[in-house]
Amino acid sequence: MKIALAQLNYHIGNFESNTKKIITAIEDAKQAGAELVVFAELAICGYPPRDFLEFSEFIELCDNAVKEIAYACVDIACIIGVPTKNPRIEGKDLFNSAYFIENGKVSQLVNKALLPTYDVFDEYRYFEPSVSFSCINFKGHKIALTICEDLWNINDNPLYTSAPMDELIKENPALMINIAASPFSYNHDDNRYKILSDNCKKYQLPLLYVNQVGSQTEIIFDGGSLVFNAQGEMLDQLNYFEEDIRIYEFNGTEITGHHIKEHNPSPDIEQIHKALLLGIKDYFYKSGFSKAVLGLSGGIDSAVVCALAAEALGPENVMAVLMPSKYSTGHSVQDALDLANNLGCKHETIAIKAAADAFDSMLEPVFKGLPFNITEENIQARCRAIIVMAFSNKFGYILLNTSNKSECAVGYGTLYGDMAGAIGVLGDVYKTQVYQLANYINRDREIIPQNSIVKPPSAELRPDQKDSDSLPEYDVLDKLLYQYIELKKSSRDIIAQGFDEALVRKVIAMVNKAEFKRYQTPPILRVSPKAFGMGRRMPIVGKYLS
């Protein structure tokens, strides 16, 4: 039996596009001799559809798409993810389901049992968990079909009290198929590989696993669909960060025609680079935008964002606006110009001194000679935001935010100033990782000027200002932040590792007090296991650790 895995990039709620893409894949798989083609979790509507699921019309459109897809399933069957109505009054109104379609109609149905509610997931908000389990049958083979999380309850600290495969194995299936929407983070491919391999070893069955690819606002799906033998050894892996369709031969016992392959994931920074490119590209394409604007300071953060945007969207679609203040150094302006020229993107220079001076003059009667402080610094940052937003309004550019995760964490940024934007490109990338990204971007030639990489970072909002005036050195700060944010360590635990106690308490207090700022920032492209945004939900007025 020939089975095709279709790893596709879906668009949430775009039923016309998704259905066309799915039917094209069915036809291509059929032409290549496949008898069954497998699509991802909630492929019909895209993942995560969130509160779209609460609209009855949305579910009707899903049903209509299924009918159209079923019509194409002649001489080939398909497995596809779709939300379905719960026929019982009790419980949630919907199931997260997989349809088995053959001979032009839905013939079998599988519902997801384990509904994640951690990090970016909130499935129990919408779906009822399945409590009944049975294999699907096709061409004389029993297939244990599961949906994403249903295979993840296998580690030493299970989140759930049962595992669907423990029930399905009782029917003596010959093959496992898992359809998924498994988001990217730079370490998730290793976890995913181990979980899936462990399932094969436990149940002594081969596995075909298909994942989504593409970005849905802040959540990025990396693809990397997998094929394992019954011993948990990898036989094949589909491409990362791009659509891919491949066909496999199942002889009733094993996947044949493939040799065992080593699991050799790409370096983290290479994965982050590809994920950010995909995140930018899909945010613009799926939102109907094409042109980006950003403030280009000559510093490393804006340089990296500009380089990523130029690669993702084309340099002709990127406008870099240089907005020097009276405190900006000549080399910073030159570094920004050099980058724009290296990339070939559009650029304009608009000095903010006149605007900042005007605000100072307007406010002088109220401030009555009070000394220069963060107020005047923030005014400069907000002058810049007004300028780039003027470009956005006048020319249809979408503003890219350039704040990094270290700054977002401790609140080192100006609300309605440099924290403005439609999408946060580096908000889940620590400052030390931004340097790694810059060097990776320069791997073949110098794109980002070396001076932007080696000079001490500065907001340049007062004379001789440096980030280190307000923050610990980033190599120390980022390690501390990682312990608190990603690993969720307490101040006591972090201090026990050898970090200075006063520094730990100061930094954690800064993180907690900046929560109100993060609530007002744009969605951030998620590349780590714990990103700011929907995956990290903290109270603004909470007292704990502040």
Q: Which residues are catalytic?
A: 41, 112, 148
Q: What is the DSSP secondary structure assignment for residue 223, as one 8-state letter? A: B
The secondary structure of 108-140, three-state, reads EEEECCCCCCCCCCCHHHCECCCCCCCCEEECC
For residue 456, the SS3 value is: coil
> Do residues 438 and 535 make contact, with C-beta atoms less than 8 angstroms apart?
no
Q: What is the DSSP secondary structure assignment for residue 523, as one 8-state letter? A: P
Contacts of 316 (CB under 8 A, 6+ apart): 344, 345, 346
Q: Which residue has the tokens 């294999």?
A: 135
Q: What is the C-alpha separation between 359 and 127, in angstroms, rounded? A: 53
Long-range contacts of 309-315 (CB under 8 A, 24+ apart): 309/280, 309/345, 309/400, 309/425, 310/343, 310/344, 310/345, 311/277, 312/276, 312/277, 312/278, 312/280, 312/281, 312/284, 313/280, 313/281, 313/284, 315/343, 315/344, 315/345, 315/346
> Do residues 94 and 83 make contact, with C-beta atoms less than 8 angstroms apart?
yes
Q: What is the C-alpha separation between 149 and 314, in angstroms, rounded? A: 37
Closest to 405 (Cα-Cα) out of 287, 282, 491, 276: 276
